[in-house]
């Protein structure tokens, strides 16, 4: 596997982590009303969305740059 393939795999796992952190904070916020949980959940979901956007951008860019196979 090339660095490109491993990077896409890594970004996928990172997105899963960000979503997991977000959902765990939503779950924690239901029993504890501290703003830190809400803020971390929002941060995590935004991070997950950015990672998905970046992942697709990276994939397309690597496909376009045919020097990187």
Partner 1 sequence: MEIPYTVTARPDTGLWNAKVGIWLFLASEVMLFGGLFSAYVFLRLDAEPGAWPHGLLNVPVGTMNTAILIASSVTVVMAWASLKMRKFRAYWWYMLVTILCGVIFLGVKLVYEWPQKFDHFGAFIKKDALEKYEPYLGNHHLAEKGLPQRTEISGHLHNKEALNDPNVKEYEIALDPVNADPTNPNMDRPHFLYVPPTDKIATIEKEDVEYANMFLPKHSAYFASYFTITGLHGAHVLGGVIIFTYLWLPVGTKLYKRNPEHLANRVEVAGLFWHFVDLVWIFVFPLFYLL
Report the interface residues with partner 1, using CB under 8 A: 1-4, 6-7, 10, 13-14, 17, 20-21, 24, 28, 31-32, 34, 36-37, 40, 43, 47, 51, 54, 58, 62, 65, 67-68
Closest distance to partner 1 from the beta carbon of 60 (Å): 13
**Cα-only R_g, the chain:** 16
If the CB atoms of residues 34 and 49 are measured against partner 1, the closer one turns out to be 34
Between CA 7 and CA 39 the distance in angstroms is: 28
* Residue with Cβ nearer partner 1 (54 or 56): 54
- Least Å from the CB of residue 50 to partner 1: 10
The string over 2-39, giving b where at least 16 C-beta atoms fall within 10 Å of a residue's C-beta and e elsewhere, is eebeeebeebeeebeebbebbeebbeebeeeeeeebee
């Amino acid at each position: 596997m090339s660095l490109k393939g491993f990077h896409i795999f890594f970004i996928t796992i990172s997105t899963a982590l960000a979503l997991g952190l977000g959902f765990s904070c939503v779950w924690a916020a239901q029993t504890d009303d501290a703003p830190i949980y809400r803020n971390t959940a929002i941060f995590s979901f935004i991070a997950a969305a950015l990672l998905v956007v970046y992942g697709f951008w990276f994939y397309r860019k690597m496909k376009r740059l045919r020097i990187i196979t």
